[in-house]
Structure 1
């Protein structure tokens, strides 16, 4: 049994450490005025009659719970939502902990209904509902040692060692400023991640360009340029060999180049969106043309990389640079009319304050961005690890995708601030001529390239219905495909695994729901559909190059290169 003095000492230490962690989390993810639930409820003007009825019923149900606890009642029990694993253990059915669970589920239901009954505009109610969910996720009895029966049972079984080990992990993560989501000791970039053979054939202050070694005797004559997001490291496209999209693409016979963005350091804090277009996308495309000795290339882009590529096309058109044969946009928002829950974290006051000092430059921490994305799925990407790591003292299992998720990259403040203002706040990508880049007015409705648009049905970062809006902006032949699962798991879905499914429908209805209702579901990976779409645009098969780079662009170092190996301290 645990000694009462040591247990008391532990909880005093744990409480102090937990307060520090909570404060750092709130400071990192909550916009001004939204850190606590009462602030989110401030706009309420009044409650409806239904709200008071809901309130009365809530008190009656709580009373019933107390009566059940002492054996004097048999009220109906609530069940967690489908997929909620927090209360799955049999210990939660013990009377006291069942009471904690039922009281929490009842309170969650009541608070959600109260928000529904508030007299407020739709945007205010949506914001209130979002932060109500954040609050409810945070105060779950599963997240606290004294109300989690699994934690207490494990502490007794290990004679307190699980609590001591959890304390160590908590203090380590406070030092790192991130939650450990996987056993990071099991991964090394360049050794068991990002291992597709290739060479760095060009580099500047912003990116390294990788060219991959062919694995087939002949290849398509039109090269493929991959532009991943600059918010994270590129190797989400090149994880372990069995789920590497890059390796698969090379195996399909495409001469493949990839942009490896550099995590911004203070001396690069002056970079603007124009620089990511000029020194990034356009510089990479020019080198691909020179090495391949081909006028055109196909371009595959992912997330914010797709927005960079899309804004580069009008600049190229104005300069007479007809370099792209086709575009592929994976989980990309062009029209930000409805960007999803992430809009609740975007504070106009913060952006306005950064715009005042934008000329001075600066760096936006990748850890800050990672915490924001994690908060969108807090139960899975925050509280799950709080319980597993800090309360149970366990090390999470090795998972390559989660290792990548914690390997963040910094962005330049001018670039990031401009991005938030023009895309999320003003939705300028959907407004022809509303801004200029590299001295060129940007009009995405002038893009007539063949375009393949992929979205993921459960994407919490890029809602699929928002990605679908691209079909009403680009004017060239366009194919829209919807995959199952989320932002990453839906996109990185290897053909060899034969998992999930995807939907296709050649008729692009103006209404995304109408498109979906008429769509055909196909089993397996959407990569197969994309490969069939890309092949006719990739030209003839020719002999694979025997060397990488060229006389002008000699190999600098083996892939994955130095830039991707840099980690934030």
Structure 2
């Protein structure tokens, strides 16, 4: 027993000469691994011969030739000398067997190296320290470059961080002590299970984050009762059953992003914004967008704007009301801004009683890292990928969003599921994240160029919808804007810019967390917080400086705001119940479009 404890203290790196039985076992493991890879290759070749859809093409590397001209030779020499000195210190510590010093407070938050084996074993401690030292030098070198503009620095910063994250020793079996220990404990079964996971993901062209069989739309997610009451080639309109005897007279229509499925707002009864809104006495409609296919080849930006107008008019006519409350989430919020501007230009602004924006951008001057993917090289690649069918495979967008948080959404799963061979946990949010939708290629190209690259939505008259030039400065609709403090897709400083363009009353709320958790934060969870500032200020920094913090969800604040605009009520009878008005029920919620793959 003492000998075993001593060997474990050396992190399992010292072992007796293997027996014949052990050699046979590990030979069998390697043989099974080879067989799995051969079977995968054979299946891929068969699919290719049958002209199966190819997996998304990887994002091309971003190259900046001639960067050497921006490097100060003296600073470079000093940096190399500092790194050499630090490297020698790390080596001396390892060779002397001196126990590793306690990590700095910031380093201890790095989940990749949180396991005690990284510090207990001198070899792995040397690997960890060397990696962190080199990473700091590489990332610091980007900031030290002189004579380059900020867009170029952002590109280089993103590329360097992506490279640094990818090359972490935790991502490789032979330099990760936990992987090595797990392999020994399971006699190689963990490596085989991980290989099986990896080959399966390669086959479907998408990284798996959660148990694919744990959730089913309509069974344990997207279960709020309702009916599909209208269907077009672009969307289904879902009306939800009232949960109260009386409802607000002005109904609510939610426009979710078509980059993802609508049920992010209806994950389960405890997390569902849709169910919660119904329980607050709102008549709720949701647009479920169709995943693009060959029938949507000609769909462009204005088609989504006109679809929103169509949904608004449909609800007004069905319930015989003058106006509706609207919510636009992410890209659907961007289009909602265009919809409001179109209605204003037509003299029909009264059709919308209020507009709420969930993490939506209208001014893309500070749109964050997604702006790095709209260069000529990337745009040409997108054209090639979607040229044959006229739509962009949703797996490509999923990979792009994963890249924005590669350490959390890519490499942690590579380690856990490929190297450690762990089972996928059931997690509804990650199930939704992997439930991709295809995008119309024409719309996607124009959205990236007109909005992200050229920022035309904030240029008066630059964009025309249905023959009408639009101008955001004409929008006077009461507006509620929610931004996520840690949002990496729609940065809060970018979302804030909507306050510079709309002219009507506006309430801005900064919520804790990011693009998803900052929105999907039910009151009963008691999580996060939000900030408000009743003063009209010019910048987000000024807003934060004078803001008041409130613990928990911002949903009740939004509900109070909605009711402050108009608290008139109506009985939940007749057309307020799905299928009992002029629009008959076509099928039960969540409908068929959300199930289409």
TM class, shorter-length: over 0.9
Q: 1:121-136 residue pairs with structure 2 within 5 A?
A: 121-136=149-164
Counterpart position of 1:45: 69
More displaced, 114-123 or 165-174?
A: 114-123
Q: 2:113 aligns with which of 80, 87, 93?
A: 87
Question: In 2 relative to 1, CA 205–88 (structure 1 residues): closer, same or farther, beyond 3 Å?
Answer: same
Cα-to-partner distance string for 1:178-203 (whole Å, 9 max, x where unaligned): 11101121100000000000000000
Q: 1:85-484 residue pairs with structure 2 within 5 A?
A: 85-93=111-119, 94-119=121-146, 120-278=148-306, 280-321=307-348, 322-351=350-379, 362-484=390-512
Distance 2:497 2:55 in 1: 33
8 Å Cα contact 2:367-2:494 kept in structure 1 = yes
8 Å Cα contact 1:270-1:361 kept in structure 2 = no
* SS at 2:363 equivalent: coil
Cα-to-partner distance string for 1:101-149 (whole Å, 9 max, x where unaligned): 1111011011112212222222212211111100010010110111111
8 Å Cα contact 1:471-1:508 kept in structure 2 = no
More displaced, 371-380 or 81-90?
A: 81-90
Distance 1:74 1:169 in 2: 37
Distance 1:522 1:41 in 2: 49
The answer on 1:561 being equivalent to 2:571 is: no
Q: 2:59 aligns with which of 30, 33, 37?
A: 30
TM-score between both structures, scaled by the size of structure 2: 0.88
* SS at 1:341 equivalent: helix
Q: CA RMSD in A?
A: 2.6
Question: In 2 relative to 1, CA 352–86 (structure 1 residues): closer, same or farther, beyond 3 Å?
Answer: closer
8 Å Cα contact 2:385-2:392 kept in structure 1 = no
Question: In 2 relative to 1, CA 25–129 (structure 1 residues): closer, same or farther, beyond 3 Å?
Answer: farther
* SS at 2:137 equivalent: helix
Distance 1:287 1:410 in 2: 26
Cα-to-partner distance string for 1:14-61 (whole Å, 9 max, x where unaligned): 99999xx9xx99974524x42xxxx35753413223332122110111
Question: In 2 relative to 1, CA 14–96 (structure 1 residues): closer, same or farther, beyond 3 Å?
Answer: farther
8 Å Cα contact 1:198-1:211 kept in structure 2 = yes
Any unmatched runs of 5+ in structure 2?
1-21, 45-52
Q: Which protein is bigger by CA-based radius of gyration? A: 2
TM-score between both structures, scaled by the size of structure 1: 0.93
* SS at 1:287 equivalent: helix
Cα-to-partner distance string for 1:419-453 (whole Å, 9 max, x where unaligned): 01111111111111112111110101100000000
TM-fit CA distance, 1:360: 9.1
TM-fit CA distance, 1:77: 6.9
TM-fit CA distance, 1:355: 7.5
Question: In 2 relative to 1, CA 251–426 (structure 1 residues): closer, same or farther, beyond 3 Å?
Answer: same
Question: In 2 relative to 1, CA 9–25 (structure 1 residues): closer, same or farther, beyond 3 Å?
Answer: farther
Distance 2:33 2:167 in 1: 17
Distance 2:330 2:427 in 1: 22
Question: In 2 relative to 1, CA 159–356 (structure 1 residues): closer, same or farther, beyond 3 Å?
Answer: closer
TM-fit CA distance, 1:96: 1.1
How many residues are matched? Answer: 558
* SS at 1:209 equivalent: strand
Distance 1:354 1:418 in 2: 12
Distance 1:167 1:441 in 2: 55
Distance 1:40 1:512 in 2: 33
Distance 1:140 1:421 in 2: 34
Distance 1:115 1:307 in 2: 33
Distance 2:98 2:381 in 1: 56
* SS at 1:219 equivalent: strand
Any unmatched runs of 5+ in structure 1?
none
Distance 1:451 1:496 in 2: 25
Question: In 2 relative to 1, CA 395–354 (structure 1 residues): closer, same or farther, beyond 3 Å?
Answer: closer
Question: In 2 relative to 1, CA 354–74 (structure 1 residues): closer, same or farther, beyond 3 Å?
Answer: closer
